[in-house]
Structure 1
Amino acid sequence: MPISVLPDHVVAQIAAGEVVERPASVVKELIENALDAGAMTVSVAAAGGGRRLIRVSDDGSGISSQEVELAFARHATSKLRTADDLSHLETLGFRGEALCSIAAVSQVTCLSRSRDETTGVKLVIEGSEVVVRSAVGAPAGTIISVENLFYNVPARLKFLKAESTERRLITQIVMQLAMAFPAVRFSLEHDGREAFRSTGSGSLEDVVVAAYGVDTVTHMLPVDSVGGSIIVRGLTSSPEITRTDRSRIHVFVNGRVVHDSNLTYAITQAYTGILESGQYPTSIVKITLPTEDVDINVHPTKAEVRFRDPSAVFAVTQRAIREAVGGMASPRRENDWPDAGRSLFGSMRARTGGGSTPLLRQNEADDAQPRIVRQAPEPPVMADESTPGRPRTLPVLRVVGQMGARYIVAEGPAGIYLIDQHAAHARVLYGELVDAMESGTLQTTEEIVGTAQVTAAQFRKIEQAAVLLERVGVACEPFGPQTVRVVRAPDILSGVAADDAIGAILDALSHDDPQDKLPRALAHAGAVRTGQVLAMDQMQQLVRLLERTPDPLISPTGTPTLLHLSSDQLSREFGRRGGG
């Protein structure tokens, strides 16, 4: 094939691949243009996960009739003139690629009127070609409709996810931009149904209520720290609410949504000793620094940035989060937990060939008292030899005590074992739940405490997943405005607060494979918490159950359940040789 110059429309389609990855990319670019135009109200409507339609309306400054076609030309922008301007950009957009790229792979209708004109202009573009231009009456501002995304690049359609996933990604970017600009009023509809709405009050807390509900905002702590020219502000959650993924860690740099693994790591590391392994906070972190100290011209989607002094930004961010959570890493004293002696495992069933019986009789649980765990070791925890076909995957362990209200300390024939009580219990509950689902013996409870606050989008997500939830024994119903009640749940959640149960459910439903994630999330929601002091018999029960559980070394979310220090390792650490 001879070398030839590509036609302009082919060049545009190729270039669009860098900017327009999926429907959420279109939404992001159009909203950023609206914000750069000074909009105080931004409305987004999507259909078919954004494939059929994306419409973004704003009340910004609009585009003049003389420039509206130029706005869709490649590298046409009003935001910079020279390369030096890149060092001082205060706008979200600057390349002049977004509108051109969107128009190259979709059918676009632009309706806009600048505040200086009395008549607006309507432009219809298909595959980069203007097919209609007309004068129309219109309010000041801009409405851009993007239809049939990737209609002329069918190969790109194959790489899009399910509609539900694309809807979730659109919702996420709208929420993030609302967090970045809380003084702007945002609304979002999916297929004619409201999914998100912010008040535009200027309060970040109000945006969190709209995004994640009242219960979440009541557990958010203010973040406010300054280090030289670096300012870090925002909100971060107390240890009472956690996630099993990092999806609610949002980082903004000079108002821009960014994805920076180092900054995410700085945030999560600030919770070391506060959150258990595999648990993550909800954090909205806004970093402000001089424009010349950050390079935003790194990635076509502008989602990545480069700092002049990344270590300083990391340090100030981590310190800001640590200051926010304060002294919460301090170990709790035993008398802080007056109910430590109650049965934490009463809802679990013995995993044997016989019937299902509670591990603790109620009178035994009632008589138990909190106790110091530094006591003489109890008899060894033995595996249940009556269970056929279960290979032993842990040695015989003897519980010695508890450390930091987090780890069970046990001794085995080959050394010391530190067992993460939450991860281990979640492993046991997960195995129990999956076995019950597969055998058709799932037992449910109605003992879910209280109700949970949810957003309209969250409630719709629960409604849409009703069949999936029923498979794991969960049923929910509305209980007033933005409130939901758990009517029924698997008995591993007996006594769990509704907001914890709903949080786990929503967490699972936010993943691409909710059917797999749901039992795992419910197991973690029902498991004993880090920070709970356990009595010796409770620790023995948990270790006994873990010993009989398949794959006892890994929690449902993939984190370790225990750490083994062999006798040889201990001897080396103490400088011992042989038997001396």
Structure 2
Amino acid sequence: MSIKLLPESVTNKIAAGEVVENPASVVKELMENAIDASARSIRVRVEGGGKGLIAISDDGDGIPADEVALAITRFATSKIDSIEDLQRIHSLGFRGEALASIAAVSSLRVQTRSRAETEGSELICEYGKVKSITRKGFPQGSRFEVRDLFANVPARMKFLKLERTERSRIADLVLFYALAYPFLHFTLEMEGRTMLQTAGNGNQREILAAMYDVDAARQMLEINLDEPECRIHGFCSPVGLTRSNRRDIHFFVNGRLVQDVQLSSALVNSYHSYLMVGRFPIAIVFVEIAPTEVDINIHPAKAEVRFADARAISGKVARAVRLALMASSPAPVFNASLWTGSHSESPGQPEKSLLYPEHPSVLQFPTPAAEMFKEKDQAQPALGLENPIPLLRVIGQVGGTYIVAEGPDGLYLIDQHAAHERVLYEQLLVNRLQKQDSQLLLEPLLFAPNAREAELLVSVEDTLNEIGFQMEAFGPNTYSIRAVPAFMSHTFSLSILRDALHELDEEDPSPVAKEKEEILIRSICKGAAVKGGSILSKEEQEHLVRQLESCQNPRTCPHGRPTMIHLSVDILERQFGRKGSR
């Protein structure tokens, strides 16, 4: 096959594919153009998840009439003039590719008026071909309407996600830029509904409340490290506010949202020894550095950067986060009674443990413990169980994580978290089948989901109601949770629901309804189950083991991990080198 030049229509589509990956890419490029144009107000409207319509308007500088046609030409830009300018870029855009790429794969309408003009211009372009340019009266600023994205590139259209997913991407993006530019007014409308409207007053915690919830926004710790080489600022979560993945760790470098594995790892490592395995912080970190110390021209969508000294910047991020964590940690309280010998108990009362002070019960008893043991202690394993376990005699707990029990055939080490997950999972399934009662909460919990979480919540609302939750809309973007499954009324928290929604969102492509319900229930059980490191009373240990014995599938948690390890008498005798090993 001979070598030949590709037609312009083909090269434009190839170039567009590097810059415009999905509707969120369009929103990002047009918002950055508005910010570069000194806009004070940016309005984003989306229909059909961005596949049908993306409309972005601003009150920025606008485009002069004689430059409108040039604006959608590749490599036409007002941001730089020479190669030297690449070393000192202060704007978000600079290549002159964004509008040309968007125009190549959509039906584009541009309405704009510059500050110096009294009359505006309107350009209509159909998939890279300019149809008309006319003079009309418009307010100062620009408005871009992008319709039928990728309609001329079926291969690209095929790889777009569900409308729900695309809306979530856009909502997240607008929130991040609203946080990065808190003095700008951002408005986001989706499918005719206003999802976000910021005051533009500089209050970043108001935007954090929209991203997460009011309680999380209050808890977030401020990061602030100001050094000659760079400034690190932003927010990170306290050790009690975590997620099940890294999805809520984000970085801005010189006002640009970027992905950086090294920075992310440095931040997570700052929480070393603070968090449980498998838990991650929430963080939005802004890095301000001299343009000469960072290369932003290494990724088509400018989603990655390269620092001149990446190790130094990562170290500064880690230090800034550690300082925030240390500032939030209360000083330990000295308990003099442990040293003066003044510890005493009332006559006739057992002495309390100094090693494990009193703590609230972490396992909830659905029935009084005495009645439960009266029924369960003599019970035999139920018929029809998958690989049942024998009746066990609880010996104690090791490391606040494993229950030690003896059976007729040896020793059992039971992972209390995995075991409790299994128990909760089967109880939720029974709730769903038998429509068992919910437990009304003394005070309803108010859940303020962000845009992505709200869409997910609507998609699983019926399932939540079936397993015992009662919730209803409570004002704009807020839900009131009035009741929860009875057996988790004392252990349920909003973080359990939020983590379940996040885990559901990780499924890609989106699962079918039945799989979605299964993921939701498993995740709720994971969040509500007693954690490793929790000291259980002897009664709680007994109760958990008795419940596990009654499960249909007691040997694994809902995610497939083992709930127990069995050390037979034969294995013990072999390990100890005793004679007569069987």
- The reply to whether TM is greater than 0.5 is yes
Contact conserved, 1:19 with 1:101, CA < 8 A, in 2? Answer: yes
Kindly state the Cα deviation for residue 139 of structure 1 after the two structures are TM-superposed: 1.2
2:387 alignment partner, one of 384, 391, 395: 391
Task: Out of 268-277 and 200-209, give the one that drifted further.
Answer: 268-277
Kindly state the Cα deviation for residue 232 of structure 1 after the two structures are TM-superposed: 1.9
Kindly state the Cα deviation for residue 137 of structure 1 after the two structures are TM-superposed: 0.9
1:467 alignment partner, one of 462, 469, 473: 462
Tell me how far apart the structure 2 counterparts of residues 62 and 221 of structure 1 sit (CA, whole Å).
Answer: 38
**Counterpart of 1:528 in structure 2: which amino acid?**
V
Helix, strand or coil at the partner of 2:536 = coil
Percent of paired sites with the same residue: 37
Contact conserved, 1:60 with 1:142, CA < 8 A, in 2? Answer: yes
1:507 alignment partner, one of 502, 510, 532: 502
Tell me how far apart the structure 1 counterparts of residues 555 and 205 of structure 2 sit (CA, whole Å).
Answer: 40
Distance 1:383 1:118, change over 3 A: farther
1:484 alignment partner, one of 479, 482, 494: 479
Tell me how far apart the structure 2 counterparts of residues 197 and 218 of structure 1 sit (CA, whole Å).
Answer: 19
Aligned twin of 1:522: 524
**Counterpart of 1:92 in structure 2: which amino acid?**
L
Aligned twin of 2:541: 539
Distance 1:555 1:194, change over 3 A: farther
Aligned twin of 1:346: 365
Kindly state the Cα deviation for residue 399 of structure 1 after the two structures are TM-superposed: 5.1
Distance 1:82 1:427, change over 3 A: farther
Helix, strand or coil at the partner of 2:110 = strand
Helix, strand or coil at the partner of 1:123 = strand
Kindly state the Cα deviation for residue 394 of structure 1 after the two structures are TM-superposed: 11
The structure with the larger Rg is: 2
Contact conserved, 2:49 with 2:164, CA < 8 A, in 1? Answer: yes
Kindly state the Cα deviation for residue 382 of structure 1 after the two structures are TM-superposed: 12
Per-residue CA distance 1:500-548 (angstroms, 9 max, x = gap): 4553454356444443432133213422356654223323443565577
Helix, strand or coil at the partner of 1:66 = helix
Contact conserved, 1:433 with 1:442, CA < 8 A, in 2? Answer: no
Distance 1:274 1:564, change over 3 A: farther
Task: Out of 301-310 and 139-148, give the one that drifted further.
Answer: 301-310
Kindly state the Cα deviation for residue 265 of structure 1 after the two structures are TM-superposed: 2.5
Distance 1:480 1:106, change over 3 A: closer
Per-residue CA distance 1:157-209 (angstroms, 9 max, x = gap): 11111111111111111111112111111111111101122221112212112
Contact conserved, 2:381 with 2:550, CA < 8 A, in 1? Answer: no
Tell me how far apart the structure 1 counterparts of residues 232 and 564 of structure 2 sit (CA, whole Å).
Answer: 36
Contact conserved, 2:211 with 2:450, CA < 8 A, in 1? Answer: no
Tell me how far apart the structure 1 counterparts of residues 484 and 557 of structure 2 sit (CA, whole Å).
Answer: 21
Q: How does 1:14-25 map to 2 (within 5 A)?
A: 14-25=14-25
Distance 1:336 1:94, change over 3 A: farther
Aligned twin of 2:346: none
**Counterpart of 2:446 in structure 1: which amino acid?**
A
Distance 1:302 1:416, change over 3 A: farther
Distance 1:105 1:165, change over 3 A: same
The answer for unaligned runs of 5 or more in structure 1 is 348-357, 365-380, 571-575
Contact conserved, 1:493 with 1:522, CA < 8 A, in 2? Answer: no
Is residue 314 from structure 1 mapped to residue 314 from structure 2 by the alignment?
Answer: yes
2:445 alignment partner, one of 451, 455, 458: 451
Is residue 360 from structure 1 mapped to residue 378 from structure 2 by the alignment?
Answer: no
Tell me how far apart the structure 2 counterparts of residues 311 and 359 of structure 1 sit (CA, whole Å).
Answer: 58
Distance 1:409 1:105, change over 3 A: same
Q: How does 1:187-266 map to 2 (within 5 A)?
A: 187-226=187-226, 229-266=229-266
**Counterpart of 2:236 in structure 1: which amino acid?**
T
Tell me how far apart the structure 1 counterparts of residues 14 and 387 of structure 2 sit (CA, whole Å).
Answer: 56
Tell me how far apart the structure 2 counterparts of residues 64 and 135 of structure 1 sit (CA, whole Å).
Answer: 11
Q: CA RMSD in A?
A: 3.9
Q: What's the TM-score, normalizing by structure 1?
A: 0.82
Tell me how far apart the structure 1 counterparts of residues 19 and 244 of structure 2 sit (CA, whole Å).
Answer: 30
Distance 1:41 1:363, change over 3 A: same
The answer for unaligned runs of 5 or more in structure 2 is 336-352
Tell me how far apart the structure 2 counterparts of residues 557 and 288 of structure 1 sit (CA, whole Å).
Answer: 42
Contact conserved, 2:388 with 2:553, CA < 8 A, in 1? Answer: no
Contact conserved, 1:254 with 1:289, CA < 8 A, in 2? Answer: yes
Contact conserved, 2:394 with 2:541, CA < 8 A, in 1? Answer: no
Helix, strand or coil at the partner of 2:434 = coil
Kindly state the Cα deviation for residue 74 of structure 1 after the two structures are TM-superposed: 0.6
**Counterpart of 2:194 in structure 1: which amino acid?**
E
Kindly state the Cα deviation for residue 114 of structure 1 after the two structures are TM-superposed: 0.9
Is residue 95 from structure 1 mapped to residue 90 from structure 2 by the alignment?
Answer: no
Aligned twin of 2:401: 407
Task: Out of 160-169 and 473-482, give the one that drifted further.
Answer: 473-482
Tell me how far apart the structure 1 counterparts of residues 332 and 545 of structure 2 sit (CA, whole Å).
Answer: 23
**Counterpart of 1:47 in structure 2: which amino acid?**
E
Per-residue CA distance 1:286-317 (angstroms, 9 max, x = gap): 12222222221121111111222222222222
Is residue 11 from structure 1 mapped to residue 7 from structure 2 by the alignment?
Answer: no
Tell me how far apart the structure 2 counterparts of residues 229 and 125 of structure 1 sit (CA, whole Å).
Answer: 45
Kindly state the Cα deviation for residue 228 of structure 1 after the two structures are TM-superposed: 6.0
Contact conserved, 2:380 with 2:391, CA < 8 A, in 1? Answer: no
Contact conserved, 2:388 with 2:554, CA < 8 A, in 1? Answer: no
Aligned twin of 2:293: 293
Tell me how far apart the structure 2 counterparts of residues 414 and 28 of structure 1 sit (CA, whole Å).
Answer: 62
Q: What's the TM-score, normalizing by structure 2?
A: 0.82
Distance 1:70 1:263, change over 3 A: same
Task: Out of 92-101 and 274-283, give the one that drifted further.
Answer: 274-283
Distance 1:85 1:346, change over 3 A: same
Kindly state the Cα deviation for residue 447 of structure 1 after the two structures are TM-superposed: 3.3
Kindly state the Cα deviation for residue 392 of structure 1 after the two structures are TM-superposed: 5.5
Tell me how far apart the structure 2 counterparts of residues 392 and 309 of structure 1 sit (CA, whole Å).
Answer: 58
Per-residue CA distance 1:396-421 (angstroms, 9 max, x = gap): 79654353xx63364889999694x5
**Counterpart of 1:401 in structure 2: which amino acid?**
Q
Per-residue CA distance 1:263-285 (angstroms, 9 max, x = gap): 22222333333332322222111
Per-residue CA distance 1:470-525 (angstroms, 9 max, x = gap): 34333311345654221343334312456345534543564444434321332134
**Counterpart of 1:344 in structure 2: which amino acid?**
L
Kindly state the Cα deviation for residue 28 of structure 1 after the two structures are TM-superposed: 0.7
